[in-house]
Structure 1
C-alpha cells in the first residue's frame, strides 16, 4: 500500500473535482459519513477561496467548519489582504488561521452522526474587488438551515468555481494511515442565474502522498464515494479517472 521502506504517517487526501463555471454564484453538496476516525475532515465544498464541511477533531469532538483564505496574489503592501467577517451565527467561533495559507476559520460544535446526511451551501456576492461568501449547513437537529457566517475576501470580483469535495486525515501520527475513512457525497449542484445544475461526474484526484489504499466510485445512482486509509482497495476508479453517476 506504500512505497517499500517508507512508513506513511497519514492516509492520503482524496478529492472529487467538479466542473463549475466561473459565473456560478452558489454551490451545494451533501455529506454522509460512512466511516470516521479522529482527525478527519470531510469537505463538502472546496471552492476558489475557501472550503466547508464537517470534522472529527483529535479529541473526538465533532464540528462544522467554514473557512475563507486571505488574498494570495496582490503584493502591494498598501492593499488590505485579510479576510473579514461581516456576519457570525450564534455560537460560531471565528479565528485567524495559518499554515497552509492564512485566513479566517469558523468552527461550530455539531454532533453529526454516521450515516446521516449533512447538506451544505455557499453563496457568493461580489462587492467591487471583494467577494462575500456566506456559508450554510442544514441542522438535522432543528430541521432548518443555519447561516454559519459571511466572510469577505479580496478576489478581484471572482465568484465560486474550482469546486471539489475531499476527505483528509489531518492527524498524521503514523497510526492514522491504518484507519479507514469513507464518505458519500450526493447532489452537488451549482447556480448560474436562476438555474441549478447538478454535476453527474467528477474527477478522482489525490495529494502527493504515494500510498495506494484509496478509492472513489458510486453508490447506486445517487452518491459519489471517497475512501482512504486502512484496508481500502483502489478497485473502482483509477487515480485521475472520472467517476460518473449513470
Structure 2
C-alpha cells in the first residue's frame, strides 16, 4: 500500500497528521487567580476513560496530582513533585541539595523516582476510580527555610486520604502556576475521546477565606496547535469540560478564557494532620 486517495465533498476540509506520534494533543486549564495559595481544592469527573489517559486535577509550579488509566486492569491516583535544578532525564545525576525528599506516604502508596520529563519524587496509589465518579483533590503548601512541603490528599469513603507529603528544596513559595490538564500519555489510540469535567477550583491564601477561581485559561500543546484540530473546552453548568481527541470539531481557541456559570462553593473540611 503506497497511499490512499480521498475524493468528494467530505475530503475538501480534511486535516492530515503525518507526525509519528499518534496520541492526542494535551490540553490545559490555567487558574491565575489561585496564585499564592496555601490550599487548593479541585473536583474532577471523568466522562471517558480510554487506556493511557491522565486527568491532572491540580498542577502547580513544582508538581501535579490526578488520576490515570494505566492498563486494562489498573488505575492510579498519582502525586509527583519535581526536583530543583535542570536535569531532564536521569535522577541519579541529581545532587542531594536538589532532590525532593519523601516525608510521609499514605497506606498502600508506592513511592519512588521519576525522570524523562524533569526528575523528582513520584508516588501513586492503585485505586479503582470509575467513569462518572466525582473525584476530589486537595493540595497544601507549607514553605519554610527556603524549601516547601507539599501534601496531596484525595477524598475516599467520606474522608481525606493522604497520598504523600514531600519536601521540595530551593523553593520556599506557596502554590502558583495552578493548572489542570487532559493528557494521552501513550503515543497511540489518539482517535479516542478523552473528556473530563473540572471544577470548581477553590483556593485559600494564608489569612484569607476560601474563594472560587472565577475563570480558567485554555491552552494546547504544540501537537494540538499544529497537527490536531480535535481539542476543546466548554462551560457545562458550574464545570469546565476539557477534552481532546475523538476526531470532532474543536470548541475553543488557544488562550480563551472560560467562566463556569454559578460555580457552587463546596464545603471544605480540612484533613487532620
Specify if TM > 0.5. Answer: yes
Q: Secondary structure at the match of 1:178?
A: coil
Which structure is higher in strand share? Answer: 1
Please give the alpha-carbon distance, in whole angstroms, between the structure 1 residues aligned to 2:232 and 2:173: 32
Please give the alpha-carbon distance, in whole angstroms, between the structure 1 residues aligned to 2:200 and 2:43: 6
Q: Once structures 1 and 2 are overlaid, which stretch shifts more, 20-29 or 94-103? A: 20-29
Q: Is the 8 A contact 1:20 1:162 kept in 2?
A: no
Q: Aligned residue for 2:102?
A: 85
Q: Aligned residue for 2:239?
A: 223
Q: Aligned residue for 1:116?
A: 133
- Structure exhibiting the larger radius of gyration computed from Cα positions: 2
Structure 1 unaligned blocks of 5 or more: none
Q: Secondary structure at the match of 1:195?
A: coil
Instruction: After TM superposition, give the deviation of residue 217 of structure 1 in Å.
Output: 1.1
Q: Aligned residue for 1:104?
A: 121
Do structure 1's residue 145 and structure 2's residue 160 form an aligned pair? yes
Please give the alpha-carbon distance, in whole angstroms, between the structure 2 residues aligned to 1:148 and 1:4: 39
Distance change (3 Å), C-alpha of 1:4 and 1:52:
closer
Do structure 1's residue 243 and structure 2's residue 267 form an aligned pair? no
More relative contact order, 1 or 2 (CA 8 Å, 6+ apart): 1
Please give the alpha-carbon distance, in whole angstroms, between the structure 1 residues aligned to 2:165 and 2:253: 37
Residue among 178, 185, 205 paired with 2:191: 178
Instruction: After TM superposition, give the deviation of residue 245 of structure 1 in Å.
Output: 1.6
Q: Secondary structure at the match of 1:80?
A: helix
Length, aligned pairs only? 238
Do structure 1's residue 33 and structure 2's residue 46 form an aligned pair? yes
Please give the alpha-carbon distance, in whole angstroms, between the structure 1 residues aligned to 2:34 and 2:215: 14
Residue among 198, 207, 212 paired with 2:212: 198
Please give the alpha-carbon distance, in whole angstroms, between the structure 1 residues aligned to 2:245 and 2:229: 9
Please give the alpha-carbon distance, in whole angstroms, between the structure 2 residues aligned to 1:79 and 1:91: 26
**TM-score w.r.t. structure 2 length?**
0.82
Q: Is the 8 A contact 1:215 1:232 kept in 2?
A: no
Q: Is the 8 A contact 1:22 1:158 kept in 2?
A: no
Structure 2 unaligned blocks of 5 or more: 1-13, 88-93, 262-273
**TM-score w.r.t. structure 1 length?**
0.91
Please give the alpha-carbon distance, in whole angstroms, between the structure 1 residues aligned to 2:204 and 2:15: 40
Residue among 244, 250, 253 paired with 1:234: 250
Q: Aligned residue for 1:155?
A: 170
> Which whole-Å deviations, capped at 9, do the CAs of 1:172-216 have from their partners, x for residues lacking one?
12xx11011100001101111231110121111011102110010
Q: Secondary structure at the match of 2:165?
A: strand
Runs in 1 of length 4+ with deviation above 3 angstroms?
1-8
Q: Secondary structure at the match of 2:32?
A: coil
Root mean square deviation of aligned Cα = 1.9
Instruction: After TM superposition, give the deviation of residue 155 of structure 1 in Å.
Output: 3.4
Q: Is the 8 A contact 1:11 1:228 kept in 2?
A: yes
Distance change (3 Å), C-alpha of 1:151 and 1:78:
closer
Q: Secondary structure at the match of 2:97?
A: coil
